[in-house]
Chains A and B, each alone.
Chain A
């Protein structure tokens, strides 16, 4: 179940080209495999999430279970199994900002909330309401709000009070198809959602209710995932159209309140198949992607580029990181360069990324 495989490194020569007045920088980096774990037997491992302290990893999968992993010595061991919460695949798990709660989104149309008690987790409550498969759950940085989204095309915003009671705050129907992912802004009370309808919606509370305030169009196929940059100034989206797009909010100088988001960077030609997940490291600003071609990639931003027109370079690439599609990629929030990925073959893997090797 646990084995240390030889490390796989990509060596690239550092390249510095001058083309006209532009400087092209290609930073060489490397991804070293630390451990591969068979987490969910005979089923896909759909998602992995690091605890806020970075010491635990939660995984969830097609076997309807959630597993909590902790490091013992050099290896990751299973600490807990939460098996009775859901009747169908658990698609995503999310930790609360304080680390005391875990939320799980399932194809059984419910979202479970678990509370950490000593070393284990106990079932706290279930959020019902979605018509069918819940595709994502995410906690707002404030810890008071949660968002879920579903194949029923809606995005729900929930509020939790001091007595651990959850209530629906709003139900927004801005998408015309399955909503795949929702993510909160790191500092503002702002939510973004990605859908099978090829669009990204941005939500804010106005006048007593939540609604879609901006729609980002540009992807030519399903948008699978989203990630905000550490400061919350840009949003990365990844899609079935094999691109990753970077969006920036622009406030028009004429003083009008129309917010619009423009695509300021388009990473195309790097991925062989659908890009299922994208993660933006809070510590280093590196961008990692999970792809249907079984590869994991890390992109770095060119520090010399115009901030209004950012440039990203592929810094590391492991072509067959897993035996099947990679569903998720996640940066450890405390240890720079530590990366987790998981795949349809039921495994998750831990990697160490070095920006210069």
Chain B
């Protein structure tokens, strides 16, 4: 099956995150009869297996199966990490949960929450020739009819992510003389980039990466934390699905750091791609200015310019450096460069950024790093162009629809401020920090003979 994960992740060898080992932890139980054990195995033309006993009796053998529930993705078998992730998280899984809800008692039912990303909305909008808000309206209706209880917009959790990122940047900027690894701060919303960094550059690069959670995981925190307590349900009673523009987000959701061991539940249970959703609906939407990959550069730049240098920036001027996926924005005053930010998308540009960092030649304060060329709107899970449209044309259309949504300024959003107050500030910094931030772990290159693909 052709891989849908980002180019960066493909080159990183996903199997090193979920690797094959010698034995499956869930061996299949087989009904065994006592007695003589001599038998022959015959394989028919259609691939079915028959056991032929000494007395000539033929018995069709059953295929060994492990249900998805049993499969812990321990990789005790030869299933590749990719196929495990993709089968464990699919729209079929969502349907299974919804079906189960109809069959069990109300106390055993799951509260199903679906959080939709603005990029997925834009992709669906382009595909169906609708506006993003129309798409949102229809998607909500469709999902609710299926039995989904709540439909949210990750644009909302993204506001939290942007606010925290802004704060984190200022904090790093202020300690840059003391801490050599405070800057450049590298964006962390893209899991393809994170996995590549953890695996290929390890301890060297991790200190530079922003610890602020991505919009998806911020939503995970919100839904299984704040929302759960508001509704009076425990986190494991919620089944949280997100709709994302790429497959890499499935890997992000399955990170151990986003697993609530106390409640034995993941913050995001299932990630489905834009392509996986077939119809759509709506609710109140939140767009943000800046790139189609979350607008991190835009927001952090403006905030830093104001807070650190008292400069009000209206519009950012992007300068193309090597190619359209490598752009720079600089803040200058009286001939001096105060801030130098960059947007670096795609593997070849990430290479150059990291090599420059290693040689100590990077002059950036912040870099918005994304694994996919052209950013999240061009993610591997977005809908493909129709037969009479080129990839380029579709991408342009998706970008227009994406930017057509009403934008909000996170610092001025009263609902966000209210939530910060009631949810986070009330619990205090200690408890709030893990809800908004995460950590990274260098991954050892796997040189186990089983995992080398010759």
Contact = CB atoms under 8 A, between A and B. Distances in A.
Interface string A168-181: 11110100000000
Contacts of A169: 322, 348
A143 B347 CA distance: 24
Interface in A52-80: none
A59 to B, nearest CB: 28
B351 A168 contact: yes
Contact of B355 (A128, A131, A170): A128
B348 A168 contact: yes
Given A152-B11, A167-B355, A169-B348, 9 more contacts: A128-B355, A131-B13, A167-B322, A167-B352, A168-B348, A168-B351, A168-B352, A169-B322, A208-B323
Q: Which 6 A/B pairs are nearest by Cβ-Cβ distance? A: A168-B351, A167-B352, A208-B323, A168-B348, A171-B348, A171-B347
Interface residues of B, number: 13
B91 interface: no
A290 B347 CA distance: 36
Interface in A320-339: none
Contact of B11 (A154, A170, A209): A154
Contacts, number: 29
Interface string B10-26: 11010000000000000
A129 interface: yes
Contacts of B352: 167-168
A168 B352 CA distance: 6
Interface in B50-67: none
Interface string B220-256: 0000000000000000000000000000000000000
A326 to B, nearest CB: 24
B330 to A, nearest CB: 20
28 contacts: A128-B355, A129-B351, A129-B355, A131-B11, A131-B13, A152-B11, A154-B11, A167-B352, A167-B355, A168-B348, A168-B351, A168-B352, A168-B355, A169-B322, A169-B348, A170-B348, A171-B7, A171-B11, A171-B347, A171-B348, A171-B351, A173-B7, A173-B10, A173-B11, A208-B323, A208-B324, A209-B323, A209-B373
Nearest to A177: B454
Contacts of B348: 168-171
Contacts of B324: 208
Contacts of A171: 7, 11, 347-348, 351
Contacts of B323: 208-209
Most buried by B among A129, A169, A170: A129
A117 B355 CA distance: 26
A271 B244 CA distance: 55
Contacts of A168: 348, 351-352, 355
Contacts of B13: 131
Contacts of B373: 209
A75 to B, nearest CB: 42
Interface in B367-400: 373
A131 B7 CA distance: 14
Most buried by B among A131, A167, A168, A169: A168
A167 to B, nearest CB: 5
B185 to A, nearest CB: 22
A152 B11 CA distance: 8
Contacts of A129: 351, 355
Nearest to B349: A168
Contacts of A131: 11, 13
B350 to A, nearest CB: 9
Contacts of B355: 128-129, 167-168
Interface in A209-226: 209
Nearest to A178: B454
Contacts of B11: 131, 152, 154, 171, 173
A35 to B, nearest CB: 38
A171 B352 CA distance: 11
B351 to A, nearest CB: 4
